[in-house]
Structure 1
């Protein structure tokens, strides 16, 4: 039997921490996928989020390059809402999507984050709605690099990662070694599992709240 549209597969858990899941206090999560192969796993992780954190409102957004690996049609039913495309509207608009995204999100995860996305963010580019939103938001932004063979040791990656980690609200979760679908060798750098990103986001969020309190 097909699952109802908008409902997660399986039963939601009660208390996430009691179920062994990372603590996560944000209630509005922007989940961004970029043009790396592991964007194909976004439906799985969306379903995991809705089961494990039923009180968290998740808004999925993908870049144009991510559309090669996952469709908005696959994401929308699992998120229970429209999946957004990181592109400026073609016609006249009466709102500013980047401002709305920046103000709505209490936390942002970019999973996976391609080298191109990391570089653009580190350089301060603001050529798409989500890129401009991430340049402006004060919410925690956590990135999970997904890199091809050789990129982890490249000067470009090291420089851009260092620049991003200088930002007080940004964290880069190191990738894990994995099998490259191109070379067939264990020389790819795969995006860290989403629970690690939630842990990093909560650490940033808690630190920010403590700084405000002081």
Structure 2
């Protein structure tokens, strides 16, 4: 008889966490300081859901906080830079990503990326892919102090949530690395975001039988007719009171799904 599964830090218990039903997950990582913490939940995701194939796209600004080499080592395939190739390449990355993805998460999403996506700009492969895919999309913003209350952000969020298949997950109050106060806005915990996205694609509790063939690609799915609304959208100007732990220079310890999410400093 085998012992209980262990988390990346050696603790037992994550063996009880069910795997995702998703089989092809595209994650776009943008240039927030919280991108530096993506390897922690991503490692846990690979532990609890090894059958979920993950592809990562990093914006140029994201590479200031985390390397494609590190993330590629975790997911077992190369992380792609969100830029057009300098030389002619066979195929088109944006078409490949749009048709391959079963679901898409933008995590974390900066205000800049949020705005470009909301305005329909398509100046990078990831943006063009997200505009053209039929896969459900979840956007998890990470914003500086005052960002979530900004009328500009509210307009972008409203525009995105009117689109079929797009959901914006409200950020959570967190410690700002600049002000030292709990007035920054960090993305919701990644595993929670992915669980919710998984439930949107596969509402049933158990994954359907049949392996990867039971999970049609975006190109094989019908176009969604209506988009979900923002969940837990706080009123403009409202900032829930929290007593977050002080931000430190060291990286947080890996977490399990039963642990509270670490308090991560935002980049502004």
For the superposition of Structure 1 and Structure 2, which TM-score range results when normalised by the shorter chain?
0.7 to 0.9
1:19 and 2:16 aligned: yes
Q: Which moved more, 1:94-103 or 1:195-204?
A: 195-204
- Whole-angstrom distance in 2 between the partners of 1:184 and 1:83: 32
Residue 59 of structure 2 is aligned to residue 59 of structure 1: no
Alignment-derived partner of residue 70 in structure 2: 74
| Matched position secondary structure for 2:87 | coil
Question: CA, structure 1 residues 139+211, in 2 after alignment: closer, same or farther (shift >3 Å)?
Answer: closer
Tell me which residue corresponds to 1:190: 186
Of 198-207 and 78-87, more deviation after overlay is shown by: 198-207
Check 1:92–1:53 CA distance in 2 against 1; reply closer, same or farther (3 A cut): same
Give the alignment's TM-score, normalised by structure 2. Answer: 0.70
In structure 2, what is the Cα distance between the partners aligned to 1:72 and 1:146?
A: 20
Deviation at 1:201, TM superposition (A): 1.2
1:94 corresponds, among 79, 90, 94, to 90
Instruction: Give the one of 98, 103, 128 matched to 2:99.
Output: 103
**Does structure 1 conserve the Cα–Cα contact (< 8 Å) formed by 2:134 and 2:223?**
no
Q: Which residue of the other structure, out of 141, 148, 152, is the alignment partner of 1:152?
A: 148
CA-CA distance at 1:10 after TM superposition: 6.8
Please, which runs of 5 or more residues in structure 1 have no aligned partner? Answer: 1-7
Q: 2:80 aligns with which of 81, 84, 88?
A: 84
Q: Deviations over 1:58-77 (max 9, x none)?
A: 11111001011001111111
Task: Decide which of 163, 170, 175 is 2:166's aligned counterpart.
Answer: 170
Note the C-alpha offset of 1:49.
Answer: 1.1
For normalisation by structure 1, the TM-score amounts to: 0.86
Which of the pair has more CA radius of gyration? 2
Higher fraction of helix: 1
Counterpart in the other structure of 1:128:
124
2:176 and 2:51 map into 1 onto residues whose CA distance is: 36
- Aligned mates of 1:55, 1:73 — CA distance in 2: 21
What is the aligned partner in structure 1 of residue 39 from structure 2? 43
Q: How many residues align?
A: 201
| Root mean square deviation, CA, Å | 2.5
Q: Deviations over 1:12-63 (max 9, x none)?
A: x9xx8x7235x63220111111010000012112211100111100111110
Change (3 A) 1:179 1:10: closer
- Cα pair distance change 1:58/1:10, threshold 3 Å: farther
